[in-house]
């Protein structure tokens, strides 16, 4: 009997959760620049989602927040002296870079790495490639702490391989699992890995968006597949529709989501829709199953509504009865076109027969929904037992983390607060305690 389960590793929102609007191309993030945030509420909303899904029997874990501010960034560009001196000068001379050093973006763990389960890889190990995120300054510094965290959680080198990020050049722009989907008959069966890219570095004739940047390259996707030892006949590369990117679809997980053999996608998700579906059908046939595409037409849900509601930035989860639940942000119920579509989807008799809605407004205002918050890792029973257990969501861990948030998080954080050296001290103390709670003290011992 196959005991492989898909774990969702949600990013635990850190104490520096703030709205800096640093991500050009992410409409929600950009539209809330410099507004007041509530780190405490953000963390509690994320924890509530984790707890609820774990209580439903879904495999749920977390990735710890990263240390902020990132003094490595600030000192590397000439801000010296004491920590307080660094913050004061950066606030005066380069407030946007100070905001980058305080970025809350690591909470979106879908960008932490690309993951291939052992059923897909040539050496039979679970492979992780840390995303370089080099299209944005505020995210490009995440990779060091991400690799540190993944290697602490997945320490057994006989079962897990954690690869360093790809070279930090435009040719290898890599955004992690936000542009990657795995389709399969079952989590433990050999599957098809779908890589979605926005541009081609070494083909000047290839189409590309004109308004917003394409963050993922074909070359990066191909490199990740090589590192993971994937089977070519079950690896599919497709281009995102440049017109969709220019409407705010900065990652594929804003316009499509897959699980099992189901792909829920918007008709404007891919540059050549029919070719994508045909390629997936052939690849899945090789893997022993049949694709179940669910196409959402523009007449049903315009791209603007998909972006505003984050309909596709949802989680498709396999239930014990063989059907699927769709985890959506509350905003989907508040958008008339999207709510109408979802009612029809659940009533259609198709594979998705349940909606689960969460209030994630703090994350949504910063540009990330349920899918952004989680990294999917399919693990056999032996692999699950081999990973660090302190990050697996339980009622006990939930209670400890809620109490920890209550002790350490502010309920208001304004842009000017980033210059306050006391905030940096508060965050360091909070994360050192978190390391002890999770049994990973080494994460915050710099």
Is residue 251 part of the annotated active site? The answer reads yes
> Whats the size of the chain, residue-wise?
446
Q: What are phi and psi of 123, to 5 degrees?
A: -95, 0
- Contact predicate 298/268, CB 8 Å: yes
Burial degree of 393 (CB within 10 A; 0-12, 13-18, 19+): buried
Q: Of the residues 180, 219, 372, 408, which is catalytic?
A: 372
Q: Find, among 182, 109, 127, 151, the residue nearest to 387 by Cα.
A: 151
Is residue 432 part of the annotated active site? The answer reads no
Start-to-end Cα distance in the chain: 44
- For 101, 281, 312, 426, the CA distances from 97, given in Å and listed in that order, are 6, 46, 31, 21
Q: Of the residues 175, 193, 219, 383, which is catalytic?
A: 175
For residues 394 and 392, give the distance between their C-alpha atoms in angstroms, rounded to a whole number.
6
Q: Of the residues 251, 331, 332, 383, which is catalytic?
A: 251
Is residue 175 part of the annotated active site? The answer reads yes
Matching residue, tokens 């979106």? 108
Catalytically active residues are 175, 251, 372
């Amino acid at each position: 009997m196959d005991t492989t389960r898909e774990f969702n590793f949600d990013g635990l929102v850190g104490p520096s959760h703030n709205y800096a609007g640093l991500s050009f191309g992410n409409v929600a993030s950009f539209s809330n620049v410099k507004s007041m945030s509530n780190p405490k509420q953000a963390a509690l909303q994320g924890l509530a989602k984790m707890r609820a899904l774990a209580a439903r029997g879904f495999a749920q874990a977390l990735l710890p927040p990263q240390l902020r501010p990132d003094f490595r960034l600030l000192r590397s560009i000439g801000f010296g002296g004491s920590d307080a001196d660094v913050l004061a000068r950066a606030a005066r001379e380069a407030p946007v870079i100070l905001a980058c050093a305080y970025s809350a973006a690591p909470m979106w763990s879908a960008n932490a790495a690309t993951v291939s389960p052992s059923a897909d890889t040539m050496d039979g190990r679970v492979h992780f490639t840390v995303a370089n995120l080099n299209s944005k300054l505020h995210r490009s510094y995440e990779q060091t702490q991400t690799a540190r965290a993944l290697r602490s959680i997945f320490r057994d080198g006989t079962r897990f391989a954690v690869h360093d990020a790809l070279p930090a050049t435009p040719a290898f722009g890599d955004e992690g699992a936000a542009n990657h989907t795995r389709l399969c008959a079952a989590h433990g069966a050999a599957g098809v890995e779908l890589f979605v890219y926005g541009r081609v570095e070494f083909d000047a004739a290839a189409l590309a968006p004109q308004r917003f940047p394409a963050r993922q390259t074909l070359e990066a996707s191909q490199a990740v597949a090589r590192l993971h030892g994937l089977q070519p006949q079950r690896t599919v590369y497709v281009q995102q529709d440049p017109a969709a990117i220019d409407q705010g679809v900065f990652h594929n997980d804003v316009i499509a989501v897959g699980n099992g053999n189901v792909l829920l996608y918007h008709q404007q998700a891919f540059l050549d829709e029919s070719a994508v579906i045909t390629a997936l059908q052939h690849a899945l046939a090789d893997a022993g199953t049949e694709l179940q595409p669910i196409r959402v037409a523009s007449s049903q849900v315009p791209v603007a509504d998909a972006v505003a509601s984050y309909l596709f930035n949802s989680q498709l989860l396999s239930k014990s009865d063989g059907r699927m639940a769709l985890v959506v942000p509350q905003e989907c119920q508040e958008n008339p076109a999207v709510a109408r579509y979802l009612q029809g989807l659940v009533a259609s008799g198709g594979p998705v027969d349940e909606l689960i809605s969460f209030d994630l407004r703090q994350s949504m205002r910063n540009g990330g929904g349920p899918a952004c918050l989680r990294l999917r890792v399919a693990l056999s029973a032996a692999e699950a037992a081999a990973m660090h257990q302190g990050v697996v969501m339980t009622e006990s861990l939930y209670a400890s983390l809620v109490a920890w948030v209550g002790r350490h998080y502010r309920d208001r954080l304004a842009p000017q607060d980033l210059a306050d050296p006391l905030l940096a001290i508060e965050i360091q103390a909070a994360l050192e305690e978190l390391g002890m709670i999770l049994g990973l003290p080494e994460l915050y011992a710099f």
